[in-house]
Structures are given as structure tokens and as C-alpha cells.
Chain A
């Protein structure tokens, strides 16, 4: 009996004639996130949330799994918090928002000034951070596998980029389109961090989550765009399962138990393609490389696969920098380097 209820469906349930169903739906909404639920309920009643220029609000979940009792910890106008986690979340949301605004001319995640809400201290020892379709939620980690996720700008930018993808290509979260969804978040997460640190493509470490993953093992990370499959190798955790080439694509069932067909695993292939493109073009990844990938995201549809996305990046590189340009050649070579031949797909 599946009980994974997307928000749009819960809005339907709120309108049910059965009071018990309405009560159950309301409890679920309230249990997921109090303010999201409030907005959802308002939306169901016909209210519209006005654009807010990406204004940030950080909530403290106070170590509860449910967010219904979260309290406001910092706002755009308010002072800094005495809680470093709150300030890290606030700053990370700001750096990502500014990246999209200043580099790509995008007004927040939806392009229309969507407010940015983040929840910190979710649960106790909670080893995850996620985008739930409307807001960011950060765990503190258990101190062994993860430290507080707010310490990682690339993780924050990764999660917020899921919001950008949701409002643009809306890549389906399974198989190759899902792996592209994850890859786009890894790519932009890394590039946001590189811009903040002022690192060129050659200088960057191209790691995701290095600041928060296994504090007892320096140098490892969740993923590596430069060398997928090498981010970690641990007796308990196993070895990083990411492939770096289509010849090593990991076929997995499209089930939740198997990561929806390996969306966090096969993302290694387009991740490596971006790394090769960025280093092939040279300089800062937040210039030509990220513009090409962003335009490709805008031009893609929800079922895009690696082949179609590769073709789209090459097309956008030609459109932005000229057919046969250094940039377009670098993009084509990058995809070739991971076993995807630009233009080889069905017409």
C-alpha cells in the first residue's frame, strides 16, 4: 500500500468529501512541513504566493523529524544567528541565489523570485539533506558518516539546483533523465563553490560533499566529477559505484530500492562530461561551460537521455559561441570522452 503522496495530490485529498481523508491529508501535510503545508492549503483555497526576489528564511526544526514545530531562526532583514548552522544555511542559499542571478540572469529557482526557505537541525543525527519540491531541509549528520550538511556550499547549491531543474526541464527522476537531473545538480553545485572560491576549472577539486562526508577520512567525498568511481573506498561503505563512461553504465531496476534506476550512480557519466568540457574550454567553469549546460537544461524536456542532452549541449555551444568554435569542439570531445557521440542518436 504505497503512501508516497505528491503535494498536488494532497491538495486533492484536502478537498475530499470524507472528513477522515481530509484529516489524514492535513496531518501528512502538517507533518511534512508546516509552512509548506500552510502555503499548499492557501494555494488550494485560491491564494497566490507573490514573488519575493528570492528572500531567504531559515527555520530551526529543533531536532524533530516533523517540521510542524519549526521556528524562524533568521530572515533576510534580521541579524545573524548565534547558531553557525543557521548562518551557513543562510549564506549558502544567498551564494546560490546570487550565482543564478549574477551569472545566469535567473531570478531565484523559478525565475520569478521564489522565496528560499531552509530548515536546519532536522531530526537527530539525520544523515541527509534534500529538496522537497518547495524548500531545503538539512540534517546535522551523525558525526561519523556526515557532519552538518550546511557546511557544504556545493551540497546546498546541489539541492537548490534541483529546484531550478524542477522549474525548467523537470527531468523525470529515474533512469537516464534522473541521472541527468542529479548530474545537473552536481555540476552547478561544484561551479557555485568554484566561483565563491575563485577557482578555475583546473584548480578545483570537483568533489561533492567533501566538507561533510566521513569527517574521519580526509580527502574523500560523496562524488567526484573529475574521476567518478574514486570518491570513496571504505571497508564499511564500500567503493564509490559511479561509472565514468557509457561502457560501464550500471543497469539497475527502476525502483526506489535501486535508486530509481541508479540516478545517483550513472550521473557519473554526464558529470565527467562536464568536467572534460570545462577543462577543455579552460578558465572558469562559471563562464562558457556553465552557460552551455544551463541553456541545454532550458532547452531540454523531461524525458531527455544522455544522447539527447549531449546533442543539446553541442547545439547550444554552437549557438552561443559559433559553429565549430573552440567551445563547441570541447563539448563534443567531452561527450566523446565518456562514450556519447554527439549527433549519433536518432534524428
Chain B
């Protein structure tokens, strides 16, 4: 049961890097499964994913025109790196959205913050922050 009647979504957030990168390498991923959420939360998750994907698609399409601008690490030392994986549970390919503290846009920041706030807390949670609001 998806909670919103439009298919299941499993969203995984992996956080790496940062000033304490040695510790962050051990940080468990945070995972939210829409099938385990209340209906309203599942709808909200889907909306956040759709918005993040739309922004990423626009930027990626534009990036293809500037293949020389590929290095994302320079100039953002110690930033945390976020990898968001979206599994629609339909056997299709996983979608991946990536950003760092220094480059994260509004839409992806909202999604990361929401997942951090709603994912079950693992036993051990080294860096990456708690649950920033999406405001």
C-alpha cells in the first residue's frame, strides 16, 4: 500500500564527506519507504521527489552543453555530499540525484531534509546532521 494510491517510492539518502569525513564513511543511509508512511506524508514525499527531479533534469540537460565544467569538488572543501536514490519499485532503473552542501538547490535540500526528518533513526548516526527544516 503506497498511502497515496500512485505507487510505492523508496528514497535513500547517503551522506558522505564533510569536515569529519573519516567518521561520515561509517554513517548509515537514511531510508524512507512511502509504503510505511501515512497517506499525507506519502503524498508530500512524492511531491518533493518530483520537484527535485525536475530541477535536476533541467540542470543536467544544460550541463551537457558544457562538458568541460565537470568537476564538482573544487572550491567546496569539507562540504557534505548527498546522494539521493529513488526506487519506484517497478523494476525500472534507480534514479540518482547528487549535490553537496555548497551546491544543493532548494528542491533537493527540501527532499534531503524531509527524508532525514522522517527516516527511522539507525542505531549509530555519525555526521550529516539531524533533521533540518525545509523552510
A residues less than 8 Å from B78 (CB atoms): 128-131, 158-159, 162
What 10 pairs between A and B have smallest CB-CB spacing? A125-B130, A4-B72, A133-B75, A123-B132, A132-B102, A28-B105, A9-B69, A264-B21, A162-B77, A31-B106
Task: Tell whether A259 pairs with B21 under 8 Å between CB atoms, given A21-B62, A124-B133.
Answer: yes
The 0/1 profile, CB within 8 Å of B marked 1, for residues 235-265 of chain A is 0111011100000000000001111100111
Task: Tell whether A5 pairs with B126 under 8 Å between CB atoms, given A130-B18, A130-B80.
Answer: no
B residues less than 8 Å from A16 (CB atoms): 62
Which single member of A2, A24, A64 contacts B58 (CB below 8 Å)?
A24
A residues less than 8 Å from B128 (CB atoms): 127-128
A residues less than 8 Å from B107 (CB atoms): 27
A residues less than 8 Å from B80 (CB atoms): 128, 130
Q: Is the CB of B22 within 8 A of A129?
A: no
Is A32 on the interface with B (CB-CB < 8 A)?
Answer: yes
Q: Is the CB of B56 within 8 A of A3?
A: yes
Q: Is the CB of A240 within 8 A of B63?
A: no
- Residue of B at shortest CB range from A127? B127
A165 to B74, CA, bound (A): 11
Is A155 on the interface with B (CB-CB < 8 A)?
Answer: yes
Q: Is the CB of A21 within 8 A of B61?
A: yes
Is B97 on the interface with A (CB-CB < 8 A)?
Answer: yes
CB distance from A326 to the nearest CB of B (A): 33
A residues 74-132 in Cβ contact with B at 8 Å: 123-132
A residues 148-205 in Cβ contact with B at 8 Å: 149, 155, 158-159, 162, 165-166, 170, 172-174, 178, 181-182, 185
CB distance from A282 to the nearest CB of B (A): 30
Is B57 on the interface with A (CB-CB < 8 A)?
Answer: yes
Q: Is the CB of B77 within 8 A of A123?
A: no
A residues less than 8 Å from B126 (CB atoms): 127, 145, 236-237
Q: Is the CB of B22 within 8 A of A240?
A: yes
A residues less than 8 Å from B133 (CB atoms): 63-65, 124
Which single member of A2, A65, A124, A209 contacts B72 (CB below 8 Å)?
A2
A182 to B20, CA, bound (A): 11
CB distance from B122 to the nearest CB of A (A): 10
The interface of chain A, by Cβ under 8 A from chain B, is 1-9, 12-13, 16, 18, 20-21, 23-25, 27-28, 30-32, 63-66, 68, 123-134, 137, 139, 142, 145-146, 149, 155, 158-159, 162, 165-166, 170, 172-174, 178, 181-182, 185, 209, 213, 222-223, 236-238, 240-242, 256-260, 263-265
Task: Tell whether A257 pairs with B83 under 8 Å between CB atoms, given A166-B75, A264-B22.
Answer: yes
- Residue of A at shortest CB range from B68? A9
CB distance from A185 to the nearest CB of B (A): 7
Is B109 on the interface with A (CB-CB < 8 A)?
Answer: yes
Which single member of A8, A31, A213 contacts B69 (CB below 8 Å)?
A8
CB distance from B135 to the nearest CB of A (A): 6
A30 to B106, CA, bound (A): 8
Q: Is the CB of A238 within 8 A of B101?
A: no
Q: Is the CB of A6 within 8 A of B21?
A: no
- 10 CB < 8 A contacts A-B: A1-B97, A3-B97, A7-B75, A12-B66, A28-B105, A63-B133, A65-B133, A123-B129, A127-B128, A131-B78
